[in-house]
Structure 1
């Protein structure tokens, strides 16, 4: 783990996506954070010690999902499948598939295996929020808040788009695992990886942290809101918001989408599937909502200790 000193920083961005705005001053107390995402090797140790079974390894109860077809009530998780040609990027179903038998041990489906694929030092994936929290509690840690993650990801920089500056690939250097080319069908793999990469493959940021952007999205403790909390003005000037903890649970539901009936947490950091033509979220300020019962092949986590 690395120690992140207490400090105040400018959170958010007004240059990319509306849910990242407004810019706001935020203060966080000092905390320890894992230098890398939790790996398959580390997660395997947790499972061996506790016998833990992840959500992807348990068939969903049809009573919890009204309208769920009987053939879908089987254990599994969402796996990315590259398309053969350009598709409508407004429809994620074009590249996401719920694969029965996909889980953290079998990241590409039942016929794949972390051992055979030599993925022990890659970030663990196919972990739902509760799975990540269970690991953190076993390790005597917690999951970071959105503010803690973003502060750590910036590595001490202010007003920069990426974890190292304002240029995505300075001098052509690949500094994170993201999608180069046209998503979701043409990945040039200039960074050398089509899916996840071993943790620590790319340079650390200013705080000595690896993969704070790219590789996998990461769970945080915060409930999602489209409108991040801001500090109230006092006597004509604005103070910094201290240690924000996200939205209330009721605000993490989306009234515009009745099917979103399960609370959503904030994901941070972007992943290897983020691309310039689709999802420019390989940035510290980027954020995304994810339902807590959902696991995928591009979401992992890391822990903190306060």
Structure 2
């Protein structure tokens, strides 16, 4: 882990997507954070030690899905599936598929393995899977404010984790979608079609790797559609703020599904400049807590008070 002193920074952005604003001052206390996203090898050690079964691997209860054919009630997860050509980018269902058998051990479906991906970030992780790992490791999931402070690497207000230029000197700085043809054709510039081994790209100013791209990362804050507009100025900035509440996090477009959503940060290998410019520290998106995907992972934090006790 990397020890960070905490401090005052400007959170959010008024220059990109509406859910990132308004920019406001926030103060966070000292904490430590994983230098990389949790890897398959690290998660495997947790599973070996505890026998833990992830949400994507658990049998489904037919009582929870009345009327559904039994053949459809198989454990699995959402897997990115490239399209055969250009598509309407308003419809995500064209490149996401529910695959029975997909889970952290089988990231692309039941016939895939992690044998050659032990140093890749673990994926298909629901929120409770991430919190279970963190509890085992004696850590926690970061708040959104902690995550963004760490991802900025000391560059207060910068657009990216490395500065304001998307490609300084023409160099690709993160594992993102290569080229303009999302979601059907990648240029292959990064050398990776899906996840990359953690640490494959330069760290930010604090020493964090992959704070942009590779996989989205869980935080422990409930989703809200914007940041608070009364968060205060630098003289009275909130300290260690938390997000909304579970009721406010529900998806208004699906009122029949009362599943809480937490904030994801950081973007992933599917972020394309032509579609999803979210491989930035201010970027954020909601994720249902019971759903993992092939581009969602996490990293952990540890908080210590001056007396050495955990700050919670």
Normalised by the shorter chain, which TM-score bucket? over 0.9
Alignment partner of 1:280 is 2:277: yes
The Cα shift of 1:166 comes to 1.1
In 2: Cα distance, 1:95 partner to 1:254 partner:
21
Provide the residue aligned with 1:167 in structure 2.
165
**Matched residue, 1:206:** 205
Q: Once structures 1 and 2 are overlaid, which stretch shifts more, 185-194 or 139-148?
A: 185-194
The Cα offsets for residues 98-125 of structure 1, whole Å up to 9 and x where unpaired, read as: 000101010010011111xx00000000
Q: Tell whether 2:292 aligns with 1:295.
A: yes
CA contact (8 A) 1:229 1:246 kept: no
Cα displacement string for residues 173-207 of structure 1 (whole angstroms, at most 9, x for unaligned residues): 11100002221011112111110000011111000
Work out the CA distance in 2 between the residues paired with 1:28 and 1:198: 30
C-alpha spacing 1:143/1:232, structure 2 compared with 1 (3 Å): closer
Match of 2:258 among 255, 258, 261: 261
Partner of 1:239: 236
Please name the residue that 2:307 is paired with.
none
State the alpha-carbon separation in 2 of the partners of residues 28 and 65 from structure 1.
Answer: 42
- Mapping for residues 170-189 of structure 1, pairs under 5 Å: 170-181=168-179, 182-189=181-188
Count residues in correspondence. 302
Q: Structure 1 residues 133 and 232 mapped into 2: Cα distance closer, same or farther (>3 Å)?
A: closer
Q: Distance in 1 between matches of 2:132 and 2:11?
A: 28
Report the alpha carbon displacement of residue 238 of structure 1 after superposing the two structures with TM: 6.3
What is the Cα deviation at residue 39 of structure 1?
0.2
TM value normalised by structure 1: 0.95
* Structure 1 unmatched runs, 5+: none
Distance 1:259 1:203 in 2: 43
In 1, Cα distance between equivalents of 2:67 and 2:170 = 49
Give 1:72 shift.
2.3
Map of 1:88-237 to 2, 5 A cutoff? 88-115=88-115, 118-181=116-179, 182-232=181-231
SS at 1:187's partner residue? coil
**What is the aligned partner in structure 1 of residue 31 from structure 2?**
31
